[in-house]
């Protein structure tokens, strides 16, 4: 049975989401091999599809970590917005 987020994504958006997660996983693990090919595949997908996939993935992550952080998902997204507004990417998200 498809999950609710599967029903939200078109085929192109689903492919973009898979590529985004695979790229993040590989980069986090220091596996840079073939990252350029994955990125090229991602860039070939229309920007609107990549944007929607990114939004759905971000919401999925926020809803997953909210119980652990004991914060509402909107507060976590607010923290991310504040971190981005500071412009200090080196300090990490807090």
- Mean pLDDT per 10-residue interval, the chain, length 94 residues: 64 95 90 88 96 94 93 93 82 58
Residue in 17, 26, 83 with CA at minimum distance from that of residue 56: 17
With the C-alpha atoms ordered 44, 47, 49, 50, is the resulting torsion angle positive or negative? Answer: positive
Residues 6+ apart with CB under 8 A from 46: 12
Domain that holds residue 60: 4-69
CA of residue 87 relative to chain centroid, distance: 19
Has residue 88 been placed in a domain? no
Q: Give residue 1's pLDDT.
A: 43
Retrieve residue 25's tokens. 């996983």
Q: What per-residue confidence (pLDDT) applies to 90?
A: 62
pTM: 0.75
Note whether 73 and 62 are within 8 A (CB). Answer: yes
Structural domain count, the chain = 1
Residue 44 lies in a domain: yes
């Amino acid at each position: 049975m498809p999950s609710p987020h599967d029903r939200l994504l078109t085929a192109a958006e689903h492919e973009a989401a898979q590529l985004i997660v695979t790229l993040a996983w590989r980069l986090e693990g220091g596996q840079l091999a073939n990252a350029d090919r994955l990125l090229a595949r991602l860039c070939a997908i229309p920007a609107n599809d990549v944007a929607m996939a990114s939004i759905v993935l971000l919401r999925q992550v926020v809803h997953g970590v909210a119980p652990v952080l004991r914060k509402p998902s909107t507060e976590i997204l607010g923290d991310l917005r504040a971190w981005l507004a500071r412009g200090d990417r080196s300090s990490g998200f807090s």
